[in-house]
C-alpha cells in the first residue's frame, strides 16, 4: 500500500511540476510588414508557429508590425507580459531585438535573416538564398521560349540582390547569353506590400519579352504571380511554396524554410535545448530548395528535373559554388 501511495504522490508531483513549467513557458513572435498571411515570408514563419501550437497545445503570443516604430515596442511589451522566448521575423527587426535582448538577459531571443549581432541570449538564422535561387534560375532558363526571363525584387537591399544574383547564375548555367531583366520595387519597407506595383513591373518585363519571372518581394510578389498568369506566362514563387496560387502558371517556388526555423526555435526553447549563435541553412541543411508538387508537375519535364537535381547535388558536394552577392556586393554575371 505504501508503494502504491508513493507512486501516486510522485505522479501527482510530476504532473503539477509539468503544469507549472508549461505555464512558465510563454513563447512569442513578432511578424513584420505584410503580416502573417502575406502568402510568402511571414506566412512561412506562421506555418512553423502553427505546427508548434498544434503539436503542443501551447499558444504563441504574436504581433503584426504595420510601421517601423512598433518593432521594439512589441518586443518590450511581450517581455513585460512574461514571454520567455521571442522570435523576430526579418532583418528589419535587428536593431530592435539587439536592444531588447540586451535589456532582458534572462529571456531567450531568436531572429531570422540576421547573422551579425552579438548577444549571448540570441539565436540567429541565416539562409543561403543564392543556392535555392540558382536552382529556380535553371528552371526559368529551361522553360523559357523567348530567351528572356525576369526578376522582381522587393526592397533594394543586399539580401534581395543575393536572390537575384543566385538566379542569374542559374540562368547563365543553362544558357550563357540569356537576358535577365531586373527590377526592384522600392527602397523602403513599403516595397514588401505593394502587389499593384509588382503587377506593373511584371507586365513591363513581359512587354519586353520575358516569359518567366522570379519574384522575391513578399506581398508585392502576389501581383507578379497574378500578372504572369493573366498574360499566360510563368512566374516563380518564393519563401513559401506558392505553386498553388496559380496552378499551371507558377513554374516552381524557391523554398526558404523559415517555417523550420520558427518551429525549431519554439521547440528547442520549450525543451531546454535552446542554444545561441548563428545557424546558416542552405541546400546541404535542407534550409532552401525548390518546389515540385501536383500544381506544377506538368510544367517540369523529366530532363528539367534531372538537370536541377544534378546541380543541387553538385552544390551540396562543393562541385558548384554559387557566389553570394553579400560577400562582396557584386555578381559575376
Q: What is the pLDDT of residues 105-155, one digit of tens each?
A: 999 999 999 999 999 999 999 999 999 999 999 999 999 999 999 999 999
Q: How far apart are CA 140 and CA 65, in angstroms?
A: 34
Average pLDDT over residues 232-259: 96
Query: In sequence order, what are the residues at sequence separation of 6 or more whose Cβ sits closer than 8 angstroms to the Cβ of residue 239?
Result: 40, 41, 43, 44, 216, 253, 254, 255, 256, 258
pLDDT higher than threshold 90 for residue 232:
yes
What is the model's pLDDT at position 1?
52
What is the model's pLDDT at position 33?
84
Select, from the ranges 10-14, 41-45, 102-106, the one with the highest average predicted confidence (pLDDT): 102-106
What is the model's pLDDT at position 68?
86
pLDDT-derived band at 10 (thresholds 50, 70, 90) equals very low
- For the chain, state the CA radius of gyration: 22
What is the model's pLDDT at position 3?
53
Closest CA to 228 of 299, 329, 290: 299
Could you tell me which residue, 20 or 239, shows the higher pLDDT? 239
pLDDT higher than threshold 90 for residue 291:
yes
What is the chain's mean pLDDT, rounded?
93
pTM of the model: 0.85
pLDDT higher than threshold 80 for residue 7:
no
What is the model's pLDDT at position 295?
98
What is the model's pLDDT at position 23?
52
What is the model's pLDDT at position 254?
97
212-216 and 234-239 beta bridge pairing: parallel
Residues of the chain with CATH 3.40.50.2300: 2-128+259-281, 129-256+286-327
Helices 258-271 and 41-56, axial angle in degrees (round to 10)? 30
pLDDT-derived band at 333 (thresholds 50, 70, 90) equals confident
Average pLDDT over residues 280-287: 94
Q: How far apart are CA 58 and CA 27, in angstroms?
A: 8
Could you tell me which residue, 17 or 234, shows the higher pLDDT? 234
pLDDT-derived band at 159 (thresholds 50, 70, 90) equals very high
Average pLDDT over residues 87-95: 95
Closest CA to 280 of 130, 138, 125, 150: 125
For residue 283, give Cα distances in angstroms to 130, 136, 292, 316, 331.
10, 13, 15, 6, 20
For residue 54, give Cα distances in angstroms to 15, 57, 308.
21, 6, 34
Question: What is the CA 213 to chain-centroid distance, rounded?
Answer: 19
CATH classification (class only), 129-256+286-327: alpha beta
Closest CA to 89 of 307, 256, 255: 256
CATH number belonging to domain 2-128+259-281: 3.40.50.2300
166: cell is 543566385
Tens digits of residue pLDDT in 164-205: 999 999 999 999 999 999 999 999 989 999 999 999 999 999
Closest CA to 142 of 222, 234, 266, 277: 234
Neighbours of 326 (CB within 10 A): 16
User: What backbone phi and psi angles, to 5 degrees, belong to 247?
Assistant: -55, 135
pLDDT higher than threshold 50 for residue 50:
yes
What is the model's pLDDT at position 21?
42
- Name the H helices within the chain: 2-24, 41-56, 70-80, 94-103, 129-143, 158-174, 195-207, 221-230, 258-271, 302-317
Max Cα-Cα span within the chain: 86
Element (DSSP H or E) covering residue 238: strand 234-239
What is the model's pLDDT at position 40?
84
Amino acid at each position: 500500500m505504501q508503494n502504491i501511495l508513493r507512486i501516486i504522490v510522485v505522479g501527482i508531483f510530476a504532473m503539477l511540476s509539468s503544469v507549472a513549467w508549461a505555464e512558465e513557458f510563454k513563447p512569442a513572435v513578432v511578424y513584420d510588414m505584410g503580416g502573417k498571411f502575406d502568402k510568402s515570408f511571414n506566412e512561412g514563419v506562421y506555418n512553423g508557429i502553427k505546427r508548434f501550437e498544434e503539436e503542443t497545445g501551447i499558444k504563441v503570443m504574436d504581433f503584426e508590425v504595420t510601421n517601423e516604430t512598433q518593432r521594439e515596442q512589441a518586443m518590450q511589451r511581450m517581455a513585460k507580459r512574461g514571454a520567455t522566448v521571442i522570435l523576430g521575423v526579418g532583418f528589419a527587426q535587428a536593431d530592435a531585438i539587439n536592444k531588447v535582448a540586451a535589456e532582458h538577459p534572462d529571456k531567450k531571443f531568436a531572429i531570422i535573416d540576421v547573422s551579425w549581432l552579438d548577444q549571448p541570449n540570441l539565436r540567429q538564422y541565416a539562409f543561403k538564398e543564392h543556392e535555392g535561387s540558382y536552382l529556380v534560375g535553371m528552371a526559368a532558363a529551361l522553360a523559357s521560349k523567348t530567351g528572356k526571363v525576369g526578376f522582381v525584387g522587393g526592397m533594394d537591399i543586399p539580401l534581395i540582390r543575393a536572390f537575384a544574383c543566385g538566379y542569374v547564375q542559374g540562368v547563365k548555367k543553362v544558357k550563357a547569353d540569356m537576358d535577365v531583366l531586373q527590377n526592384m520595387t522600392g527602397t523602403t519597407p513599403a516595397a514588401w506590400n505593394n502587389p499593384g506595383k509588382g503587377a506593373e513591373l511584371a507586365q513591363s518585363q513581359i512587354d519586353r519579352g520575358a516569359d518567366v519571372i522570379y519574384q522575391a518581394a513578399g506581398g508585392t510578389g502576389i501581383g507578379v504571380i497574378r500578372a504572369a498568369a493573366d498574360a499566360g506566362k510563368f512566374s516563380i514563387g518564393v519563401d513559401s511554396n506558392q505553386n498553388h496560387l496559380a496552378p499551371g502558371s507558377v513554374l516552381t517556388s524557391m523554398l526558404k524554410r523559415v517555417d523550420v526555423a520558427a518551429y525549431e526555435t519554439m521547440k528547442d526553447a520549450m525543451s531546454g535545448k535552446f542554444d545561441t549563435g548563428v545557424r546558416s541553412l542552405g541546400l546541404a541543411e535542407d534550409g532552401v530548395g525548390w518546389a515540385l508538387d501536383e500544381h506544377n508537375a506538368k510544367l517540369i519535364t523529366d530532363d528539367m528535373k534531372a538537370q536541377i537535381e544534378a546541380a543541387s547535388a553538385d552544390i551540396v558536394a562543393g562541385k558548384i559554388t554559387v557566389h553570394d552577392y553579400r560577400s562582396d556586393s557584386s555578381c559575376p554575371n
